[in-house]
Structure 1
Amino acid sequence: MPMRLFSLLILFLIPIHGRAAESKTTNSTAAGNVVLVTLDGVRWQEFFGGPDPDLDSSETGVVFSRFWSQTAPQSVIYGNPATGNQMRIANLTGVSLPGYFSMMSGLTTGCLANDCDRVGYGTFPERLVNLLGLEPEQAATFASWAPIALAVEHSAGATAVRAGPQAGDSPDDLVSPEARLDRLTFSKALAYLMARRPRFLYISLNDSDHWGHEGDYARYLAALRQYDLWLALLAATIDGLGDYGRNTTLIVTTDHGRGTGADWTGHAMIMQARDIWLYARGPHVSPTGSVVGASAHTHLDIRPTIELLMGLCPRSCDDCGSPLPEVTSGLAACSP
């Protein structure tokens, strides 16, 4: 084993999984909808608190103020260090694409960087289409960063994916050849939600990580405050969609954290970047606020949580994750 990979394994202590056994078992007690949102590279420090005084002493106040005042009382929240709870990435390097591979496949894959080929395992959006008999447009992805398409589907075209710059985007709307501004992604995703009411909608936003890598803390904070506004709008939109909205769970998380101090601009191979957060609100959520205690969860728990919420029994494998109990409370367990 190469020394670098051995060091990674020792550092992160995360096994690489083999292919999981697939099941066609459905769970008739649940057939809901899910909206999943990822905010790339948003640290727990800003999510749970205010601006870092070591990075910007001019900014004050809670960054996600609308969330904590309006949405948190209806939600369960994982990864709050103040309550002794832990949520972590499930990949070896703390890099974006491996994180998205873990979320979508439910496995710790061999992907270590952002130049990986398409995910080598079937993903849960594909499984939703195949086993629930959905049209591809009912499992839709809107992403600012083009490589998200490689994480969402093992077989290209199995679901509806709009990732990265699209035809008709203005050059002014692009932050790089493979990423566009989040305002386009979010506005198109919100319009799609209202018009199509998909069973599964994934919104992947990227401005936060872009400004983080640029070392522009003021714009990083501005992106986070914009996310706070958009997430409040998204929750209100879901609530206004009648029976569809009442049967929809919103899950929001990040692909990785970031370093601290001078290292805040990075995340690859940084221990502090392992720690992440997640919140959920919806019909089966136990709205307990921040989870108290040392229960540990990872990205691997996202796939089985969404599958159970949408009426599928999660797959079976030795190292697969488990449904988040506070997000799926009241749902009957099922054995694949």
Structure 2
Amino acid sequence: MKKIFLLLTFFSVLNSQAQQAENIIIITTDGFRWQEAFKGMDETLARDKKFNQNDSSYIYKKYWAENESERREKLLPFMWSILAKKGQIYGNRTLGNKVNNANPYWFSYPGYNEIMTGYADTLINSNHYPANPNSTVLEFLSKQTKIKGKVAAFGAWDAFDNILNEKRAGFPVVSAFDKVGGKTPTERQKLINAMLADSFKPFHEEECLDVFTHYGALEELKTNKPKVLYISYGETDEWAHAGFYRSYLDAAHQVDAWIKEIWDFVQNDPQYKDKTALVFTTDHGRGDLTKAEWTSHGPHIKDASEIWFATMGPQIEPKGEMKNDTQLYQNQFAQTMAKIMGYKFEANHPIANEIPGVAK
């Protein structure tokens, strides 16, 4: 009887170890509203000639459905057909499930700092703030024995060099028009670099189109097999600022498709299959109480601090869309990501506690 008990205990320990996430992929899409994430296309904005780019028929055909659940799945099919079934999605304020920025600024650098450091640092009050003095969870993870040398970050916006403090961090941060592949790029990376250099630059030199960030990160995933990969897409914010609602929806839809592409690769690769967690979120919200303010964010927009958070992976219970009445904050994301990987994030600044009930 004792032998059977010991054997069962042994296999239970093995099973527990096998379930621990060994890799994590963190994805953000800039300034994407919870309203579209949970409700799909906004009919008022789609009808408005100021925002629909004179193409409401295209928007309706591609994204409209009378049923809210169908509508959001049309916009974000991977999020609502896969992630919602296998993971947890927070931030549907209609159900009382609230997620907000803890920082008072509600724009990008402070938001990304809060996501990555677990600290809503009020000194970081500009998108042009210099190198981040705070330690990120990526930097912390990169110092762990099992992860060292296996962290990489890709961002469409050039500010990520400062947000993640590349000079101090000890891992590569490929932002905007940086070349991918380092000193020994693959043929595919050489092609990505050539296309990036010759590409259309609607956001000038500060930000590249998301397609280059995506394929640079995907090639990194396939070639160097990082254990921690961060990808930040930016077009959702850029098209919203421009007032281009069709392009904003298309950008979000494309990000969802790219996440599916990444996840399909992950689930067919021996290093990653059933050993990888996914986190998907945003840096800030946008206006909605006044519909015309959907293009904007910042402390002058009352509801621009309203955000969302989604995750799935080993030891993350598949609870789906969270419907409990609760209040969470962006500064809880960093410790949550560390715990998903089996660590406690520590730094020389305050770090908020993790979101309860995400990682076992």
Q: TM-score range by the shorter chain?
A: 0.7 to 0.9
Under a length normalisation based on structure 2, what TM-score does the superposition of the two structures give? 0.78
Cα-to-partner distance string for 1:77-97 (whole Å, 9 max, x where unaligned)? 111123211111121110101
- Pair 1:68-2:80 in alignment: yes
Distance (whole Å) between structure 2 residues aligned to residue 70 and residue 305 of structure 1: 21
Equivalence for 1:311: 342
1:280 Cα offset (Å)? 0.5
Q: Which residue of 2 aligns with 1:132?
A: 145
Moved more, 150-159 or 305-314: 150-159
Residue 318 of structure 1 and its aligned partner are, at CA, apart by: 9.2
Q: Is 1:241 the counterpart of 2:241 in the alignment?
A: no
Assess if the C-alpha contact under 8 Å between 2:119 and 2:349 holds in 1.
no
Task: Please report how far the alpha carbon of residue 50 of structure 1 lies from its aligned counterpart in structure 2 after TM superposition.
Answer: 1.9
Q: 1:232 aligns with which of 249, 260, 282?
A: 260
Q: Do 1:215 and 1:265's aligned partners in 2 also have CA atoms closer than 8 Å?
A: yes
Unpaired runs of 5+ in structure 2? 1-16, 48-55, 66-70, 180-192
Instruction: Give the aligned partner of residue 177 of structure 2.
Output: 165
Q: Report the Cα offset of residue 157 of structure 1.
A: 5.2
Q: Bigger shift: 212-221 or 305-314?
A: 305-314
- Contact residue 33 and residue 248 of structure 1 kept, 8 A: yes
Cα distance in 2 between the residues matched to 1:157 and 1:312: 18
- Partner residue in 2 for 1:16: none
Tell me: CA distance 1:318–1:195, structure 2 relative to 1, closer, same or farther (3 Å): closer
1:190 aligns to 2:218 (yes or no): yes
Given that 1:77 and 1:289 are in contact with CA atoms closer than 8 Å, whether structure 2 keeps it comes out as yes
Partner of 2:3: none
Contact 2:102 2:331 in 1 (8 A): yes
The worse-fitting range, judged by mean Cα deviation, of 266-275 and 51-60 is 51-60
Q: Does the CA contact (< 8 Å) of 1:91 and 1:112 recur in 2?
A: no
Structure 2 residue corresponding to 1:89, chosen from 96, 101, 106:
101
Query: 1:321 aligned to 2:333?
Result: no
Q: Distance in 1 between matches of 2:77 and 2:166?
A: 38
Q: Partner of 2:306 in structure 1?
A: 275
Deviation string 1:236-283 (CA, Å, 9 cap, x unpaired) is 222112352311100000001111211111011122111111110101
Are the equivalent residues in 1 in contact too, given 2:99–2:308 (CA < 8 A)? yes
Correspondent of 2:241 among 190, 213, 224: 213
Does residue 27 of structure 2 align to residue 37 of structure 1? yes
Conservation of the 8 A alpha-carbon contact between 1:88 and 1:275: yes
Is the 1:97–1:113 Cα contact (8 Å) retained in structure 2? yes
**Aligned to 1:265, which of 282, 286, 295?**
295
Counterpart CA distance in 2 for 1:143 and 1:154 is 12
Consecutive unaligned residues of structure 1, counting only runs of 5 or more, are 1-27, 330-336
Q: In 2, Cα distance between the equivalents of 1:129 and 1:215?
A: 39
RMSD across aligned positions (CA): 2.1
Count of residues in Structure 1 that have an aligned counterpart in Structure 2: 301
Q: Percent identity?
A: 30
Give the Cα–Cα distance (whole angstroms) in 1 for the partners of residues 23 and 318 of structure 2.
Answer: 18
Measure how far apart 1:31 and its partner are: 5.8
Q: State the distance in 2 between where 1:318 and 1:227 align.
A: 33
Which amino acid letter does the alignment assign opposite residue 199 of structure 1?
K
Q: Structure 1 CA distance, aligned partners of 2:138 and 2:108?
A: 19
Q: Name which one, 1 or 2, has greater alpha-carbon Rg.
A: 2
> Cα offset for 1:328?
0.4
2:117 is equivalent to residue 105 of structure 1:
yes
- Name the one with the larger helix percent: 2
Moved beyond 4 Å, runs of 4+: 28-31, 316-319
